[in-house]
Amino acid sequence: MKTNNTIQEIRRTNLRLLIEESDEKTAIAIATRCDTSASYLSQILIRFKMASGKSREVGTGLARKLEKGCKKPKGWMDVVHHDGEVQASENEIVDLYFAMDEKMRQVLIEQAKMILQISKK
């Protein structure tokens, strides 16, 4: 397992895992379950940059709140739960997405949808 990720990368990936594990597969569902803001969670996932230039992050308090709301043990958000190569790929995709302009992002999304449809056949 790859362990040289920052705590913020690990927590962001684990937030994605919480969403994937949920029945609804949405940030809204996790936010409701954990009594936090869906908008804030979405901003963390997309690495929204504030006016200061810093990205939104999963702080320790939010990490514990997410763990409690999703019935995970304390510290779960701080540990890598899958192969680091998968995480590296996820981070690369996110980085590529945010390097694109809006038109290219839409093309990427449409292409990904087409690939998913083909893979389901």
Residues 23-68 have pLDDT tens digits of 888 999 999 999 999 999 999 998 888 899 888 999 999 999 999 9
**Cα(50)–Cα(56) distance, rounded to whole angstroms?**
7
Is 59 part of a structural domain of the chain?
Answer: yes
Ramachandran angles phi, psi of 99, nearest 5°: -85, -10
Query: Residue range 90-96: average pLDDT?
Result: 71
Q: Show the domain range for 38.
A: 7-119
Query: Residue 3 above 50 pLDDT?
Result: no
Average pLDDT over residues 111-118: 88
Q: Is residue 75 part of a domain?
A: yes
Into how many domains does the chain fold?
1
**pTM attached to this predicted model:** 0.66
- Tell whether 53 is covered by a domain: yes
Query: How does residue 2 score in pLDDT terms, banded at 50, 70 and 90?
Result: very low
Q: How far, CA to CA in Å, does 17 sit from each of 2, 32, 104, 108?
A: 17, 16, 26, 22
How far, in Å, are 90, 113, 114 from residue 118 at the CA level? Answer: 21, 9, 6
Q: Is residue 110 part of a domain?
A: yes
64 within domain boundaries? yes
Q: Do the domain assignments include residue 1?
A: no
The dihedral region occupied by 71, where left means phi > 0, alpha psi between -120 and 50, and beta the remainder, is left
Q: What is the pLDDT of residue 85?
A: 55
